[in-house]
Amino acid sequence: GETWGTFTGGAAVLDLPLVPGGDGVYRPLDAVPWIPVGDPPPGAFTRFLLTFADDDWSSPTMIRDWVWNSAGASLDFAGDWPGVWTVAWPGPDTATTWHRWEPGNDLRLDGGPVLACTGEEFTSAGAWPQVNYQNRGHVTLTSGPLGPDVLGVRLTHAVELERRDAASLMDAATLFWVGPDGAEIPAVPLAGWPATVSTLAVNALQGLGSFAGDTLSVRDGSVVWQVDRIARPEGGGPWRLRLAFASNTLWRRQGWFVAGLDPLASLEDPGGFRAAWQGSALRWTWPWRESPPTEWIVQTGDPRTDRWEDALVLTGSTPAADGWFGTGGRTIPGTAGRTGARWVRVIARGGPGWLGTQPLVVPGIAARAPDPHLTCWPNPAVGQLQILTDVPEGARPRLAVYDLRGRLVFLRDAGPGRQSWTWDLRGNGGWPLPAGTYILRLEGLDPVVPHKVVLLH
């Protein structure tokens, strides 16, 4: 191939003495002299072979590729797959993996491909949304090397993970930057992480920041995507972006889905689809300023259940210096008063389909008690059953289990708030319950919340 530079004097080989620093790291005594040649086209790189030697020892040869101008090729997944991408499993379990779902799937309105981190058996989008990752999973997806012209990445994606509480997760969907030596640096979206992985989770990525999503948001049968920006680290390179997913030992959801990874040559533009309150006005930015949508839809609802209602449809918004004002001085229907809707978001058509902002709490509204919620898994259950209850503050319900004859076989208090615990499928007397169908009920609420489960042996 072509050569895009040489060492001083046109040399192709260079011997450099290394000296130890105070931190124990050996570095070249002098700067490495490199003379660039020509105008590298997109994707051009120079491959360096490195060998370290002492008086009586030499290392194996290591290969490092320096990309001069990636122009986004290192983030492309529409062409050959996996191409420049690398899928790896840091642990022994490979039952959760990254797929490239072909164009024409239902997740995108524009028919483009999707990267899907879910169970290994779901090689296409044909079974979606009836897909799930596996427990105890840990899988990474690493891009090709990015050129020095790429200052960041715009990620268009959606996640559905197990949540522990409002601020912490049991599963993880996070990001790293990988340097030329393979070292990982945790990445942080410019908008910050919405949650962290609980230290109580049996998860290889516990304690790290993570994207969060209780229920994959869907409209018109397709995903409502979110947009985040991630800035590249300063200094050396080339850098690779790594998407890391890890799951807890209990419960499985759909996973992590990616519709776009776009290189950013500047971080000055809005870049993401974000909403914020400025006084009583709702304000948002749009990722693609050159192609704003024809209408914005302001919705009220609940992100935990993906139940949203269109409250306002706005047309003809005019771009401001750094975003759009959407509501002017108008009141968003359904949000007025102490009993109004607790959450609001903005959605619009663009890019792969529907895009949505992170839900925001409506200012000035007291936190409305959530609807009581009871979930159990796995179902059918063998040996144990994981139970999740979500109860309004101030309520004092109980969890009762009945057989099909209506006999009470198990009873315990279910305190307020969000609680998760494991039931060993034994009755109040300590004996194992026989196989069969049982009815769980959150009692002491109006209305009572029921759930049916099958126990197996």
Backbone Cα Rg of the chain: 26
Distance CA 160, CA 254 (A): 6
357 Cβ contact list (under 8 Å, min separation 6):
226, 273, 274, 275, 284, 345, 346, 347
Can you list the residues of the chain whose pLDDT is less than 70? 1, 42-43, 69-72, 269-271, 280, 316-341, 364-371, 393-394, 446
CA pair distance 206, 71, nearest whole angstrom: 34
Helix (H, G, I), strand (E, B) or coil at 206: coil
What pLDDT is attached to residue 159?
96
Neighbours of 19 (CB within 10 A): 9
Q: Kindly list the distances between the CA atom of residue 117 and the CA atoms of 10, 38, 144, 247, 342, in Å, as whole numbers in the listed order.
A: 47, 40, 18, 11, 31
User: Shortest CA distance to 245 belongs to which of 81, 133, 387?
Assistant: 133
| pLDDT value at residue 72 | 55
Other CB atoms within a 10 A radius of the CB of residue 192 amount to: 8
